[in-house]
Amino acid sequence: MAAAAGPPLPSEPPTPTDTRPKNHPLFAQIRLANISDVPYLHKLIHQMAEFEQLTHLFATTESSLAATLFPTTHRPPPFHSFTVFILETSPNPFPPIQENPNFTPIQKTLILDNSVADPEKELFWSMGNDVVVSGFVLFFPNYSTFLSKPGFYVEDLFVRECYRRKGLGKMLLSAVAKQAAKMGFGRVEWVVLDWNVNAIRFYEGMGAKVLPEWRICRLSGEALEAYNTN
């Protein structure tokens, strides 16, 4: 005689499906700066001076930035004088790119392992849809007599701390290099502090040559004003 079957075992509850995204998109955009970006630029330049341990040289003001970067009269077109690219980021997509005769914004989507915690978000909020200013690059034309071609000199390249090591610095510098190549320029140059090993490796990884035999010579402050004599 077969043994009687026991009571039916309770079925295990179904494993809940985890619908949370495993990756976090960060939408990035590079555009031409305008005079409304001056307050952000002032904060970014001060943070850069802190990072480079050069706050004792920081003397810029919002008004001086506006007057020199965005003069109201006789302002040269972009890329023919001081030019600034602004880097903006957002957890949401940017609107479609609009054609611009001077520069079409560059957009890119980054997939991060973790979302960015931005403690200064409200200070750098540039528009709706959670868009914040996250960095900038300032450059201007120079000239190479050896190449008989103009080039770009990058004065400043800066990304706020919480947005570093995500490829955004490379995106900014690549935008300058792309513009130089588009205009038929011969080279893009900049300087790097000798103690900033991470930056040196980053630039070398982009194909740049670091020239240790060159030294910067500078006249400024009282030494420069001494030449303003009769």
Instruction: Give 103-148 pLDDT, tens digit per residue.
Output: 999 999 999 999 999 999 999 998 776 999 999 999 999 999 999 9
Q: What is the pLDDT of residue 17?
A: 56
CA angle 7, 9, 13 (to 5 degrees): 150
- At 114 the three-state DSSP class reads coil
Cα separation, 179 vs 181, whole angstroms: 5
**HEC readout, 188-216:** EECCCCCCCHHHHHHHHHCCCCCCCCCCC
Nearest to 199 by CA among 175, 176, 172: 172
- Which of the four pLDDT bands, split at 50, 70 and 90, describes residue 224? very high
Q: Fill in the DSSP letter of residue 133.
A: E
- At 121 the three-state DSSP class reads helix
Catalytic residues: 203
Asked if pLDDT for residue 198 goes beyond 50, the answer is: yes
Give residue 159's Cα distance to chain centre.
Answer: 5
Strand-pair category, 83-90 with 149-159: unpaired
Query: 6 or 130, which is more confident?
Result: 130
Which of the listed CATH numbers 2.130.10.10, 3.40.630.30, 3.40.50.80, 3.40.50.720 matches domain 24-225? Answer: 3.40.630.30
pLDDT more than 70, % of the chain = 89
CA angle 84, 45, 30 (to 5 degrees): 35
Task: Pull the structure tokens for residue 227.
Answer: 């030449």
pLDDT tens digits, residue range 161-183? 999 999 999 999 999 999 999 99
CA angle 58, 53, 71 (to 5 degrees): 30
